[in-house]
Structures are given as structure tokens and as C-alpha cells.
Amino acid sequence: MLIAVYPTCGTRPSHMEQFLALARQFENRLQIRVRTYPSVTNRPTSILCFVERDSGLMYLATGASEDLGGDVQAEGKLNFVFRAEAGLIASIQNEYSYQWGMALPIDDERARSIPTLVLPEGTEEGERLWREYRAHWEHDPKKPSVVIDVPSGAVTIVGTDGNQEDSPFKSVGLPTPDPLSLELARIYERGYLVSIDKLSRVPPLDAPLSPRLLGDEAERQAGGVKRTVSVRVSIFPESDLKEFEKRRKAVRDILEKFTFGLADGMRWMPYKARELFDAEMKRVEREGRELLGKMIQGKVDEFIQEKRDQLATDIRKMLEQLGRQTRVDDQLLGTVVSSLKERITKSQAAPFTPTLTFSPIGFSVTAGTTSDPWGQASSLLFDIAAFHGRSRPVLTSSVGFRHASQTWSLP
């Protein structure tokens, strides 16, 4: 915590002593320093950084008001609270680190001895002139009236002729978001965009084999007809392979239970679902490792050696079905064994569950000839509605859904 003080500020020596007491009471959690500024017109910007517990994202609260709005509010002062992107966070950290390095610790007695100063009063004539100026500004008949919609906060400016004026944003081509867009933006910001790195998870235990090793061609074509052949080899029972694949692909099923669909391969997860989802992922990882250990039963070389004769028999049977010579030479068998060993070794080393990427996501109504944000938004809302046990709803207005005789607002 960095306390900024300047001439005539509201901070007093008594406040400094309270800060010192807090720093000593929470010495393992709180550090406080004091930074001075030379003049009343050189007041620093108030800023608060905090991390959202569920998501780990950083938010900023900043603005013109001292104490971040804890002081007596004055008209015209604005404070902002928003999620900060990585580049902005880095800039804030650099600036704050500079200010921190220029400050003194709160336990420095001289730093706490702040002079008690107040702003000097102006003359009566100066106050009269400013009062008259304000009165003209407030009662000017040319000034339009302002109408505020309390539920939405929307502001409408009505001219003296009774007609609604264009907002300054509309004048420069910046559209005002409609209520549905605002609700969607709030929903999007409560979760992550989740994607799967399929190459990071454990590979299948059956290994691909070139058909040429069995005397066949991988692909044949006659005009518009194409024939493709693929060969896979395994030394595990079919039942074990099914159990293994069931757990290897379980992540996608779990992800569908903890997320809502945006588009093909794109899922949205609420922040609050992350902890339970991580617990499920750990369970799948643990069960998959246990199953793999039971299937291999020891070292890979020894396991494959035990299966070598059965593997040669299976290859011979396949050659018989293809009408090829049935002798399995050492070169062919060695190639198959090498491929299986590489596949099983990778399975032991690679994570059983794939790596997931959790990215912040926002909703924007910007659309073009090749883009439209409403497709993803409708998929997300339909999934949310279905999750709550309702049948697929019909979008009938910009602020809610209606199905049959029921109407409910957006989550």
C-alpha cells in the first residue's frame, strides 16, 4: 500500500499512526510506504489492483477521486473498475514500482509527521463572481435537459425544442450497446474460453503401421474412385484398449458437463466451475495412470518381449487373410515391435489428460461481411437455458427469452 500525500490533503498524523498499527499487526501480509508530492495541483491518480479469486484475473480500480471514492464525492470525478489486459498490467506494475522505490516506509517517524495544512479561503468578491457564473450556467435557457433511465442508467438529452439530441458518441460513429449486448458482455466476463491441445495428451496404445509392410498399398485410385487402407497394431486385449480409450477421451465428456458451447471446438466455462473441474481432471489422470500400470505390468521391454510370439502369430494370420506369404521375418517383426515400444513409452511419459488453455473472453457487437458475434452468443444462451432443465427456448426480444407461456430474464 502506497500512501500519497500532498499539501492540504486530508491525511493527518493520526491517520499515519493508524496505518503504522495496521502494518505491525499484519506484518506478514501488509507493507505500507509514504510518497510525497510537491503541490496540491500535482495529486497522483488513485489506483487499486486486485485479483479475482476464482479466475486469477487482475482488475483495476482507478480514477480522480481521492481514497478511490471514499471521500466526499464531487461532481465530475469518475472512478473506473475494469479487467486489465497483460500489457496494461505490466505498465501499471512498472509505474507503481517506480513510485514505491521513491517512497519511505511507514515506520519512518519523519515520514509520518505530516503538517496539518488546509486550503486558504478566497475573497468574498471571488466567491460572488463564481456564484454568479454558476447561476448563469445552471439557468441558461439554451441549455438542454437531461433525462436518466434509472433501471438501465441510459441518458437522453432533450433540446429546448423538445426533440431528442444525438449523443456525442453517435455523432462520432460509436454505437450505444443495446440491453442484450450488455447482458451478454457481463456473462462472457464471468468465464473462460476453454480450448484443448489434443497433441499434448497420451496417444492411443495401438500403433499405426504402413500397409506396405504387409505387401499392400496405402491408397489406390481409379478415376473418381479411391481406396484407402490403414493398419493399426496392438498387443493389448480389445477390452483393455476400450477401457483405456474411454478414460483417454473422458476429458471431452467432462468438459461438456462443465462448460457451455460457443462454436465447434469452443467452450465457455464459468469461473466458479473451475475448482470442481480441476478435481475431475485429477481423478481422470489418476485412474488413467493406474489402468496403464495394470496393463503394462512392469517394464516396457519385458512386457513387449512376453507378447512377441503372440504378435508374430497375429501378423501371420493377417497375411493369410490378404493372401500374402505367411512368413514373418525378423525385419518386419522388429519394425512392428519398435513402433509399439515407442507408442507405449510415450504413453508413460505424456500427461494422460490433455493440456487445456483458459483464456479471458469478451463479447463485442462488431460485425462485418465475414463475421457475426451473434451465432456464438445464441449457442451459449441456448446451452445455458437447456442446462437449467428447460426445452430449447425461442429468442423473442432484446432482453429476455420466452417459451410457451413462460418468460425469464437472462442469467
Length, in residues, of the chain: 411
What is the rounded distance in angstroms from the CA atom of residue 164 to the CA atom of residue 388?
Answer: 42
Q: Is the pLDDT of residue 368 over 70?
A: no
| pTM of the full structure | 0.66
The mean pLDDT value for 67-96 works out to: 79
Mean confidence (pLDDT) of the chain: 82
Answer for the pair 91, 47: CB distance below 8 angstroms, yes or no: no
What is the rounded distance in angstroms from the CA atom of residue 225 to the CA atom of residue 19?
Answer: 82
Q: What is the pLDDT of residues 165-214, one digit of tens each?
A: 888 777 777 777 777 888 888 899 889 999 888 777 777 888 888 888 77
Q: Is 136 exposed, middle or buried (0-12, 13-18, 19+ CB in 10 A)?
A: exposed
Beta pairing, strands 406-409 & 400-403: antiparallel
Q: Is 92 exposed, middle or buried (0-12, 13-18, 19+ CB in 10 A)?
A: middle
Answer for the pair 248, 352: CB distance below 8 angstroms, yes or no: yes
From the CB of residue 301, how many other CB atoms can be counted at a distance below 10 Å?
Answer: 12
What is the rounded distance in angstroms from the CA atom of residue 258 to the CA atom of residue 358?
Answer: 13
DSSP track, 216-281: --SEEEETTEEEE--EEE--S-HHHHHHHHHHHTHHHHHHHHH-EEEETTEEEEEGGGHHHHHHHH
Q: Is the pLDDT of residue 66 over 80?
A: no
What is the rounded distance in angstroms from the CA atom of residue 117 to the CA atom of residue 121?
Answer: 12
What is the rounded distance in angstroms from the CA atom of residue 147 to the CA atom of residue 158?
Answer: 8
Residue whose entry in the numeric block shows the C-alpha cell 506478514: 28
Answer for the pair 411, 187: CB distance below 8 angstroms, yes or no: yes
pLDDT given at position 326: 67
DSSP track, 94-123: HHHHHHHHTSEETT-HHHH------PPP--
For 39, 205, 289, the CA distances from 301, given in Å and listed in that order, are 77, 15, 18
Region label for 305, one of left (φ > 0), alpha (ψ between -120 and 50) or beta (otherwise): alpha
Q: What is the pLDDT of residues 16-42, one digit of tens each?
A: 999 999 999 999 999 999 999 988 887
Q: Which three cell numbers stand for residue 252?
A: 471431452
Check residues 304 and 410 and name the one with the higher pLDDT: 304
* DSSP code at position 189: T
Q: Can you tell me whether residue 345 is helix, strand or coil?
A: helix
Q: What is the pLDDT of residues 100-127, one digit of tens each?
A: 999 999 999 998 999 999 888 889 999 9
